């Protein structure tokens, strides 16, 4: 004796955001029912578990039927099968593309390949996110990546245009795409303390200042790749550390500016040359793709860790970097100020963002 | 050759990939109408082809235009092998044939394949050029408008209602042709879809011809059904009510009061006293006046049309009922009337109306529900390809209905519908309706004749004109006791007139308990009233209504042929009886006294019969307060037993009290009277009756019992009764904030907001337990329905406060161990807080408006009154043959079997029969107060316009769907034509599509999508009076296969929000009423 068939179809798609979330989170119908029960739905509306089960099944089925439209969000507005009010459509899309930052953190910088997809069970085990949800998120990453990889124009706008996402979410996707494209190393143990949002911030900095699109403002070029010419020009900064006079002069200017203003003045003074060498060396190495990938690990190993061991406060770092950047303008023989500012602006923001426990 | 059909294929989108190699498709389109086919070019390698074809022109004659659909087939071109079909679109071009409906069909249609479902969309433009002028054209039935709506469509007024039209066509079912064995399922499904589409077209054309013949120009309440008889054929049949509709003047938009309240339009008038009252007063008066009634030109038509001149009087409709009564009536007048009516009756074959709500003034009295069923064997049809046999079957049933109505002193049947249930070779035909007395003013020309004979006047039923829904005041007061009083009496108020009995109280056809109307105090009313119609808008109601269902299963042995038919025939009366008892018990349990929208469905399966009765219960202020339910045991001596009984009694009493509170049923009178305590104390009664006792003597005993309050007594002398009581108490009420009803609107709720959610839900339950008892089965079925309702409440909880309206349940027994229940309904939000105040405010307004309208509207009726006044219209009928019918009911008789057909028709229901309740007269009621309440105030509702979600951004036009005839807060400004679609979906990969649920879910969603697309292409933004008339689901899980057939229908319309309308120059309501009246 059993219910052989049980369906409910509304002229306007009827959906419960909570259930949608459970579906997105990859729960089975049984688990979803349990979670809803625990969540106390029944208290707000008298009903039996049976009713809850039937409702959950229905909605899961609806979402499943809807999924193919969600893969191409612009179709959702054109399709005739389901009548969904626009604000609901936006919600469906936004939630579908929303990802767990824990998951994204794991995947950041990895190649979005079949191999990676196969390893998702590890990610699932590590993050506690269901495998089904991991797969959906992975597929979303890959879908967005493929769609915008070859496109010209601003990355965020491209994503927004194709996937009808909110500004915030589109930015996050931009970071994911950017990292996946440049394959930045983020998995090292020393980088583990950094969150997805830290990296997303850095990605935005890089996209805004170091890519082709950043120079040509929106018109052409691609946001996904760093500007080759710029990376090449960074070699010229080497003079800051190879020219002994310049290095000394730079140090004295910075010390003059910071004296009395930071607590770690002595440590700074003692370490200045190392720090400056580290920053400039990172810049110089960026011509090699391999070293580009190591950008973040380099920043942490060469700059952040030494500072941290000397117990610099964030404020100290900010002051140091500010003056370190600006005093270069006072160096008589240093001519690469445009490149310098472009480089240091981003590095400074990134370091400040990354400088925490 | 009256027309040129032109079609243009613009583009396609989202096409499926047909070529795996390229992941693309080389699509082209075939456009076919009749035997002519055109093709577009192949648009290579694209999923979004842009054909932009030339205009394909078909020169066709009108018959084809009406019968044939335009067939569009999208194919994938393949150089080496046969082209693969992607899918099809069938477009019904009927809406283009009426000058008032759509002028062009243009839009994106889903491309549908019976195996794969929707596969992309195609943009098509279709136009029709009519060569001939309209008149000429009208010789065919093109241009006759069809409406599913069972009331006069808003934005029209009925100049005349001609009456019942029916037609039936038969064909061989392609699925049973020999060729079906060798062709693909797809080909077979398509053959069926095409055939049904053709048959529907043909049916509509034929009905259209009948309408033209009658002088009408439209069919309202059009109900079309399919009978899949299997080997013996495929039947498409339809019934409807022919009318002459006139478009309300331009202001039309403005004119009809908002659709919100169904009732609003014209009906409002209720309060105002009837202008007509006079009618009575005057004697048989002058014949001349007749003309006045007839509203309009239309009359003339009708006459011509009417088949025989002799009949003249009411060509279209006639009143029927009065037949037998004559003898009993007091005055000669009555006799005269009666005769007149009778003759009218004879002329009119079936004075039936498929409408469920009427223009004000139309419905005078309601007698009760009449129904008939008959069991037939399909393999006995002599000439299966011809419709004659089926025509004869239906004819028999209709005759029976007619005679039942007559027995109730009524000359017409309103809210009439027909249905079938088929299992193998057995077919149960059912028909039901509400016996009623209609106002003569609406009769048409028939009157003329009548006039000449003075006596006749008042009675002729025939056509009525009128606006929207129902109104009922009766114009004629019934004289209390004797007809003599007539002239003097004041008219009974509209809010209660329809409750007054149409039959003669001295010759009550069945043992009902009559009291003076609690509202007007002037005339007799029964203690309970059952009807199949919507509640008249002006009826006075106390509290809110609620959905009531009676559910029943009966096992039967598997059998063949006549044995089987006889067994079913024998079971039917008992089922009806039990369903009725359940309804009555549940009604009492809710402290209410009337049922509207009663629909009883009995479905037959191989080894069981399933019965489901749904209705909306209300407390009519005019009717007496229902008594409680009293339980009594047979053997009072046993103490524990007594205790058990008193426990149960207590539970019942508690439930009644709770229900009264829940539905706000607090009739004012109760307070006044001590006696009135609604719940009789158990001990009071010395005797118990089983309420349903069949023998007439018991009945008489009943009356003897206690004077004061009556109670409904249940004797629990057997286990059945205990079960019954249990099931009574297990009906869980809707959760807080929810109301439900199966009528158009909920009595007692007036301020709808714009939240609207139409839905369809289907459940199939498998009984795996081989040894089920009737009780076990009942419980399962009961739980199935209850759980379904609970699920609906749960799913729609975000809409609270809301009301599920038009909850339409359909049961079927698709296979041996399966029970299928399908529901289509709409959830509508309303404003709880403002309910009270708004209502009052609204009331005043409505009141005023009502008056205005009334005046205008009733113009001619007024005249009429003066003339016809004379007779008491009703009285004549009263006497009628009730008696006989009563007997008939009392004892279910076994079906008479004749050779070819087993007709079992005992079933007419005269609902009142079984009531055993005794009513007391109550103290005086304040009429005024009740009057106020009486009007449902449409205005209040219309007022609350909540802005709905704006769908502005979406590229796909939003199409609302509702089973109701209106959308709250909006006004329908144009009817674009009828939507009547039939789809088949089949799969051979059931598991892959998510099992049966996944399969059906997708299919229903696709059907909705196709309906919406067609409406949008016609330029509409809503479907009203939507219904899913058929949902036949078959599966074979072992073969991983399933098939489903769905038939849906509705009216495509354009509506505008009232707020928008107000912005436009047309002044809202008042103006309209002005405009419409002119005729």
Percent of residues in chain B assigned helix, strand, coil, to nearest 5: 35, 30, 35
Confidence of residue B478 (pLDDT cuts 50, 70, 90): very low
Nearest CA in chain A to B117: A81
Q: At residue B969, does pLDDT exceed 60?
A: yes
Question: Hey, are the CB atoms on A4 and B1001 less than 8 Å from each other?
Answer: no
On average, the pLDDT of chain B sits at 71
Query: Which range (B13-22, B146-155, B600-609, B846-855) has the least confidence?
Result: B846-855
Query: Which range (A105-109, A329-333, B20-24, B1062-1066) has the least confidence?
Result: B1062-1066
Q: At residue B43, does pLDDT exceed 50?
A: yes
pLDDT average, residue stretch A186-209: 88
Taking the Cβ of residue B991 and every Cβ of chain A, the question of whether any pair is shorter than 8 Å is answered with: no
pLDDT average, residue stretch B692-705: 30
Question: Hey, are the CB atoms on A79 and B759 less than 8 Å from each other?
Answer: no
More confident residue, B728 or B97: B97
pLDDT average, residue stretch A27-34: 93
What distance in Å separates residue B938's CA from the closest CA in chain A?
A: 26
Predicted pLDDT of residue B1062? 63
Question: Residues B758-784: pLDDT tens digits?
Answer: 999 999 998 876 677 888 888 889 889
Nearest CA in chain A to B956: A78
Q: Which of residues 1030-1069 of B touch A (CB under 8 A)?
A: 1033
Taking the Cβ of residue B766 and every Cβ of chain A, the question of whether any pair is shorter than 8 Å is answered with: yes
Question: Hey, are the CB atoms on B1000 and A7 less than 8 Å from each other?
Answer: yes
What distance in Å separates residue A177's CA from the closest CA in chain B?
A: 26
pLDDT average, residue stretch B874-900: 36
Report the share of chain B in percent with pLDDT over 70: 63
pLDDT average, residue stretch B505-529: 77
Phi, psi (5° rounding) for residue B648?
Answer: -65, -40
Predicted pLDDT of residue A41? 77
Question: Hey, are the CB atoms on A46 and B998 less than 8 Å from each other?
Answer: no
Predicted pLDDT of residue A208? 84
A74 contact residues in B (CB cutoff 8 A): none
pLDDT average, residue stretch B54-75: 89
CA distance A22 to B81: 47
Most confident of the following: B98-107, B167-176, B324-333: B167-176
What distance in Å separates residue B1000's CA from the closest CA in chain A?
A: 7
B998 contact residues in A (CB cutoff 8 A): 61
What distance in Å separates residue B16's CA from the closest CA in chain A?
A: 13
Predicted pLDDT of residue B1017? 93
Q: Mutating which of A1, A9, A91 best tests the B interface, going by the most B Cβ atoms within 10 A? A: A9
Query: Which range (B34-48, B938-952, B962-976) has the least confidence?
Result: B938-952
**Alpha-carbon distances, residue B66 vs A266, B95, B394, B428 (angstroms):** 98, 10, 26, 31
Nearest CA in chain B to A69: B14
**Alpha-carbon distances, residue B626 vs B15, B509, B670, B678, B916 (angstroms):** 62, 21, 11, 7, 11
Question: Hey, are the CB atoms on A86 and B952 less than 8 Å from each other?
Answer: yes
More confident residue, A288 or A125: A125
Question: Residues B209-242: pLDDT tens digits?
Answer: 889 888 888 999 999 998 988 888 899 999 999 9
Q: At residue B958, does pLDDT exceed 70?
A: yes
Predicted pLDDT of residue B133? 52
Question: Residues A237-287: pLDDT tens digits?
Answer: 888 888 888 888 888 888 888 888 888 888 888 888 888 888 888 888 888
More confident residue, B772 or B1063: B772
Predicted pLDDT of residue B384? 79
Question: Hey, are the CB atoms on A77 and B953 less than 8 Å from each other?
Answer: yes
Residues in chain A whose Cβ is within 8 Å of chain B: 1-12, 14, 16, 44-48, 50-52, 54-55, 57-58, 61-62, 64-65, 75, 77-87, 89
Phi, psi (5° rounding) for residue B890?
Answer: -55, -40
A40 contact residues in B (CB cutoff 8 A): none
Predicted pLDDT of residue B724? 64
Contacts of A249 (CB under 8 A, 6+ apart): A331
Predicted pLDDT of residue B365? 86
Tokens 């912005």 -> residue: B1063
pLDDT average, residue stretch B299-303: 31
Predicted pLDDT of residue B7? 94
Question: Hey, are the CB atoms on B121 and A80 less than 8 Å from each other?
Answer: yes
Q: Mutating which of A45, A50, A59, A93 best tests the B interface, going by the most B Cβ atoms within 10 A? A: A45
Question: Residues B398-447: pLDDT tens digits?
Answer: 999 988 888 888 888 999 999 999 988 899 999 999 998 887 666 544 33
Confidence of residue A215 (pLDDT cuts 50, 70, 90): low
Question: Residues A103-162: pLDDT tens digits?
Answer: 999 888 888 888 888 889 999 999 999 999 999 999 999 999 999 888 887 888 889 999
A8 contact residues in B (CB cutoff 8 A): 759-761, 791-792, 795
Confidence of residue A210 (pLDDT cuts 50, 70, 90): confident
Question: Hey, are the CB atoms on B791 and A14 less than 8 Å from each other?
Answer: no
For B922-955, letters b (16+ CB in 10 Å) and e give beebebeebbbbbbbbbbbbbbbbbebeebeebe
Tokens 């079933």 -> residue: B907
Question: Hey, are the CB atoms on B759 and A58 less than 8 Å from each other?
Answer: no
Predicted pLDDT of residue B507? 67
pLDDT average, residue stretch B315-319: 31
Query: For chain A, what is the largest distance between any 2 Cα atoms, rounded to a whole number of angstroms?
Result: 91
Confidence of residue A84 (pLDDT cuts 50, 70, 90): very high
What distance in Å separates residue A4's CA from the closest CA in chain B?
A: 5
Question: Hey, are the CB atoms on B1009 and A45 less than 8 Å from each other?
Answer: no
Question: Hey, are the CB atoms on B766 and A11 less than 8 Å from each other?
Answer: no
CA distance A235 to A353: 25
What distance in Å separates residue A209's CA from the closest CA in chain B?
A: 35
Nearest CA in chain A to B755: A12
CA distance B636 to B385: 62
Taking the Cβ of residue B735 and every Cβ of chain A, the question of whether any pair is shorter than 8 Å is answered with: yes
CA distance B2 to B59: 8
**Cis preceding-peptide flag for A343 (omega within 30 of 0):** no
Burial of B770 (0-12, 13-18, 19+ CB in 10 A): exposed
Confidence of residue B506 (pLDDT cuts 50, 70, 90): low
Predicted pLDDT of residue B351? 86
Taking the Cβ of residue B757 and every Cβ of chain A, the question of whether any pair is shorter than 8 Å is answered with: yes
Nearest beta carbon to residue A14 from set B765, B767, B795: B795
Q: Please count the other Cβ atoms lying within 10 Å of the Cβ belonging to residue A338.
A: 10
Confidence of residue B699 (pLDDT cuts 50, 70, 90): very low
Q: At residue B276, does pLDDT exceed 70?
A: no
Predicted pLDDT of residue B448? 27
Report the share of chain A in percent with pLDDT over 70: 96
Tokens encoding A10: 């509304």
Question: Residues B326-368: pLDDT tens digits?
Answer: 333 334 444 444 445 444 444 567 889 998 988 877 888 888 8
Nearest beta carbon to residue B996 from set A4, A51, A64: A4
Predicted pLDDT of residue A22? 94
Tokens encoding B302: 């009708």
Contacts of B478 (CB under 8 A, 6+ apart): B365, B489, B492, B500, B501, B522, B523, B524, B872, B874, B875
Per DSSP, which regions of A204-269 are E strands? none
**Alpha-carbon distances, residue B210 vs B100, B203, B344, B415 (angstroms):** 20, 11, 19, 21
Question: Hey, are the CB atoms on B954 and A45 less than 8 Å from each other?
Answer: no
Confidence of residue B703 (pLDDT cuts 50, 70, 90): very low
- Asked whether the beta carbons of B352 and B413 are under 8 A apart, the reply is yes
Predicted pLDDT of residue B940? 35
Question: Hey, are the CB atoms on A89 and B954 less than 8 Å from each other?
Answer: yes
Taking the Cβ of residue B471 and every Cβ of chain A, the question of whether any pair is shorter than 8 Å is answered with: no
Instruction: State the count of interchain CB pairs (< 8 A) between A and B.
Output: 145
Q: At residue B746, does pLDDT exceed 70?
A: yes
Question: Hey, are the CB atoms on B1009 and A11 less than 8 Å from each other?
Answer: no
CA distance B905 to B894: 9
B764 contact residues in A (CB cutoff 8 A): 3-6
Confidence of residue B692 (pLDDT cuts 50, 70, 90): very low
Question: Hey, are the CB atoms on A80 and B797 less than 8 Å from each other?
Answer: no
More confident residue, B626 or B851: B626
Predicted pLDDT of residue B248? 78
Give, to the nearest 10 degrees, the angle between helix B719-730 and helix B639-662. 30
Contacts of A18 (CB under 8 A, 6+ apart): A36, A39, A41
Taking the Cβ of residue B957 and every Cβ of chain A, the question of whether any pair is shorter than 8 Å is answered with: no
Nearest CA in chain B to A44: B797
**H-helix or E-strand spanning residue A151:** none
Predicted pLDDT of residue B5? 92
B794 contact residues in A (CB cutoff 8 A): 45, 47, 51-52, 55
A5 contact residues in B (CB cutoff 8 A): 762-764, 820, 996-997, 1000, 1033
Q: At residue B503, does pLDDT exceed 80?
A: no
More confident residue, B671 or B181: B181
Nearest CA in chain A to B993: A65
Q: At residue A320, does pLDDT exceed 60?
A: yes
What distance in Å separates residue A31's CA from the closest CA in chain B?
A: 19
| Gyration radius of chain B over CA positions | 28
Question: Residues B111-126: pLDDT tens digits?
Answer: 999 999 999 999 999 9
Predicted pLDDT of residue B712? 57
Question: Hey, are the CB atoms on B949 and A2 less than 8 Å from each other?
Answer: no
A83 contact residues in B (CB cutoff 8 A): 956, 958-959, 1008-1009, 1012
pLDDT average, residue stretch B105-114: 94
Predicted pLDDT of residue B716? 57
Work out whether strand B156-171 and strand B802-812 pair parallel, antiparallel, or are unpaired: unpaired
Query: Which range (B229-238, B619-628, B1030-1039) has the least confidence?
Result: B619-628
More confident residue, B514 or B297: B514
Confidence of residue A47 (pLDDT cuts 50, 70, 90): confident
Q: At residue B931, does pLDDT exceed 70?
A: no
Nearest CA in chain B to A60: B998
More confident residue, B1073 or B1051: B1051
């Amino acid at each position: 004796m059993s219910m052989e068939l049980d369906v409910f179809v509304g002229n306007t798609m009827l959906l419960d955001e909570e259930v949608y979330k459970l579906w997105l989170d990859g729960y089975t119908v049984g688990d979803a029912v349990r979670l809803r029960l625990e969540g106390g739905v029944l208290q707000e509306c008298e009903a039996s578990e049976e009713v809850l089960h039937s409702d959950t099944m229905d909605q899961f089925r609806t979402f499943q039927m809807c999924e193919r439209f969600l893969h191409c969000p612009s179709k959702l507005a054109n399709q005739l099968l389901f009548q969904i009010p626009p604000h609901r459509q936006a919600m469906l899309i936004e939630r579908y593309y929303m990802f767990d930052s824990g998951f994204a953190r794991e995947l950041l910088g990895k190649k979005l390949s079949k191999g990676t997809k196969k390893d998702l069970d590890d990610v699932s085990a590590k993050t506690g996110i269901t495998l089904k949800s991991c797969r959906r998120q992975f597929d979303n990453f890959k879908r967005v990546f493929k769609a915008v990889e070859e496109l010209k124009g601003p990355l965020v706008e491209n994503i927004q245009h194709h996937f009808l996402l909110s500004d915030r979410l589109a930015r996050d996707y931009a970071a994911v795409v950017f990292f996946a494209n440049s394959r930045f190393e983020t998995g090292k143990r020393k980088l583990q303390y950094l969150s997805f949002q830290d990296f997303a911030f850095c990605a935005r900095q890089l996209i805004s200042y170091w890519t082709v699109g950043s120079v040509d403002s929106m018109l052409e070029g691609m946001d996904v790749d760093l500007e080759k010419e710029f990376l090449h020009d960074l070699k010229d900064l080497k003079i800051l550390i190879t020219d002994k006079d310049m290095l000394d002069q730079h140090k004295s200017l910075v010390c003059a500016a910071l004296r009395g203003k930071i607590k770690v003045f002595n440590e700074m003074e003692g370490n200045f040359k190392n720090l400056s060498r580290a920053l400039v060396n990172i810049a110089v190495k960026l011509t090699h793709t391999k070293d580009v990938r190591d950008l973040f690990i380099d920043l942490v190993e060469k700059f952040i860790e030494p500072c941290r061991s000397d117990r610099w406060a964030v404020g100290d770092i900010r002051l140091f970097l500010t003056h370190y950047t600006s005093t270069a303008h006072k160096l008589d023989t240093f001519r690469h100020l445009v490149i310098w500012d472009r480089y240091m602006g981003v590095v400074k923001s990134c370091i400040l963002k990354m400088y925490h426990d | 050759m009256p027309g040129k059909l032109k079609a243009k294929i613009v583009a396609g989108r989202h096409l499926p990939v047909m070529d795996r190699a390229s992941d693309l498709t080389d699509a082209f389109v075939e456009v076919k109408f009749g035997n002519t086919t055109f093709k577009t070019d192949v648009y290579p390698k694209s999923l979004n082809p842009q054909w932009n074809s030339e205009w394909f022109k078909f020169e066709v004659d009108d018959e084809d235009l009406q019968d044939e659909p335009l067939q569009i087939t999208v194919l994938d071109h393949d150089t080496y092998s046969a082209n693969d079909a992607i899918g099809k679109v069938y477009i019904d071009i009927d809406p283009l044939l009426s000058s008032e409906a759509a002028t062009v069909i243009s839009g994106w249609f889903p491309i549908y394949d019976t195996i794969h479902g929707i596969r992309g969309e195609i943009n098509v433009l279709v136009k029709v050029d009519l060569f001939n002028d309209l008149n000429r054209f009208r010789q065919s039935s093109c241009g006759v408008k069809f409406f599913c709506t069972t009331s006069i469509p808003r934005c029209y007024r009925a100049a005349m209602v001609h009456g019942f039209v029916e037609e039936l066509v038969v064909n061989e079912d392609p699925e049973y042709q020999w060729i079906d064995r060798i062709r693909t399922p797809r080909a077979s499904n398509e053959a069926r879809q095409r055939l049904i589409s053709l048959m529907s077209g043909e049916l509509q054309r034929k009905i259209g011809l009948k309408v033209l013949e009658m002088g009408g120009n439209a069919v309202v309440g059009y109900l079309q059904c399919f009978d899949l008889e299997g080997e013996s054929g495929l039947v498409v049949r339809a019934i409807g009510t022919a009318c002459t509709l006139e478009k309300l003047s331009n202001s039309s938009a403005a004119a009809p009061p908002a659709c919100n309240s169904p009732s609003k339009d014209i009906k409002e008038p209720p309060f105002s006293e009837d202008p007509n009252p006079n009618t009575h007063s005057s004697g048989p008066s002058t014949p001349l006046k007749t003309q006045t009634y007839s509203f309009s030109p239309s009359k003339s038509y009708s006459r011509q049309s009417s088949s025989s001149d002799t009949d003249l009087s009411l060509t279209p409709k006639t009143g029927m009922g009065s037949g037998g009564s004559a003898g009993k009536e007091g005055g000669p007048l009555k006799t005269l009337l009666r005769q007149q009516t009778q003759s009218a009756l004879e002329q009119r074959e079936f004075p039936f109306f498929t409408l469920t709500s009427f223009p004000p003034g139309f419905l005078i009295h309601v007698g009760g529900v009449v129904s008939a069923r008959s069991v037939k064997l399909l393999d006995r049809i002599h000439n299966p390809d011809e419709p004659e046999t089926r025509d004869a079957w239906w004819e028999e049933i209709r005759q029976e209905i007619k005679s039942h109505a007559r027995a109730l002193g009524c000359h017409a049947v309103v809210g009439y519908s027909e249905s079938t249930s088929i299992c193998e070779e057995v077919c149960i035909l059912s028909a039901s309706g509400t016996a009623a007395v209609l106002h003569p003013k609406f009769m048409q020309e028939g009157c003329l004749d009548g006039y000449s004979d003075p006596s006749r006047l008042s009675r002729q039923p025939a056509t009525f004109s009128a606006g929207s829904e129902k109104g009922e005041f009766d114009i004629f007061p019934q004289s209390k006791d004797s007809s003599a009083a007539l002239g003097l009496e004041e008219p009974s108020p509209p809010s209660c007139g329809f409750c007054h009995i149409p039959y003669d109280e001295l010759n009550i056809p069945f043992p009902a308990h009559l009291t003076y109307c609690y509202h007007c105090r002037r005339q007799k009313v029964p203690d309970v009233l059952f009807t199949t119609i919507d509640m008249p808008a002006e009826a006075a109601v106390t509290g809110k209504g609620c959905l009531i269902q009676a559910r029943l299963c009966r096992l039967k042995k598997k059998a063949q042929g006549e044995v089987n038919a006889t067994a079913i025939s024998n079971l039917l009366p008992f089922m009806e009886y039990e369903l009725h008892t359940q309804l009555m018990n549940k009604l009492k349990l809710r402290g209410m006294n009337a049922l509207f929208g009663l629909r009883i469905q009995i479905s037959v399966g191989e080894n069981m019969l399933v019965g489901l009765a749904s209705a909306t219960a209300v407390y009519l202020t005019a009717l007496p307060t229902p008594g409680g339910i009293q339980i009594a045991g047979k053997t009072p001596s046993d103490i524990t037993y007594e205790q058990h009984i008193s426990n149960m009694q207590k539970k019942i009493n508690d439930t009644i009290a709770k229900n009264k509170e829940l539905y706000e049923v607090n009739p004012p009178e109760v307070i006044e009277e001590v006696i009135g305590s609604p719940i009789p104390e158990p001990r009071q009664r010395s005797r118990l009756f089983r309420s349903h006792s069949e023998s007439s003597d018991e009945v008489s005993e009943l009356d003897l019992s206690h004077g004061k309050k009556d109670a409904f007594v249940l004797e629990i002398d057997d286990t059945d009764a205990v079960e019954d009581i249990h099931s009574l108490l297990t009906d869980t009420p809707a959760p807080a904030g929810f109301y439900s009803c199966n009528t158009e609107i909920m009595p007692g709720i007036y301020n709808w907001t714009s939240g609207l959610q139409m839905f369809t839900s289907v459940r199939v339950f498998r009984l795996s337990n081989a040894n089920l008892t009737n009780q076990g089965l009942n419980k399962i079925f009961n739980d199935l329905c209850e759980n379904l309702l609970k699920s609906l409440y749960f799913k729609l909880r975000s809409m609270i406060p809301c009301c599920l309206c038009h909850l339409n349940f359909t049961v079927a027994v698709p296979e041996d161990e399966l029970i299928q229940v399908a529901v289509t309904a709409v959830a509508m939000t309303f404003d709880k807080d403002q309910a009270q105040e708004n209502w009052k405010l609204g009331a005043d307004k409505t009141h005023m408006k009502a008056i205005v309208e009334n005046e205008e509207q009733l113009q001619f009726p007024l005249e009429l009154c003066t003339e016809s006044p004379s007779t008491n219209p009703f009285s004549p009928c009263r006497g009628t043959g009730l008696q006989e019918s009563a007997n008939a009911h009392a004892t279910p008789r076994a079906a008479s079997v004749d050779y070819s057909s087993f007709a079992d028709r005992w079933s007419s229901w005269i609902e009142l029969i079984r009531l055993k309740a005794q009513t007391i007269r109550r103290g005086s009621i304040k009429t005024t107060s009740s009057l106020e309440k009486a009007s449902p105030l449409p205005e209040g509702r219309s007022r609350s316009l909540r802005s709905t979600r704006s769908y502005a951004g979406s590229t796909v036009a939003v199409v609302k769907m509702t089973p109701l005839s209106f959308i709250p807060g909006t006004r329908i400004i144009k009817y674009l034509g009828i939507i009547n679609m039939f789809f088949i979906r089949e799969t051979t990969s059931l598991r892959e599509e998510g099992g049966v649920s996944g399969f059906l879910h997708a299919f229903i969603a696709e059907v909705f999508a196709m309906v919406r697309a067609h409406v949008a292409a016609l330029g509409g933004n809503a479907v009203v009076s939507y219904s899913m008339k058929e949902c036949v689901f078959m599966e074979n899980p072992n073969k991983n296969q399933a098939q489903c057939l769905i038939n849906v229908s509705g009216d495509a319309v354009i509506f505008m929000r009232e707020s928008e309308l107000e912005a436009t120059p047309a002044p809202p309501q008042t103006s309209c009423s002005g405009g419409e009246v002119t005729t």
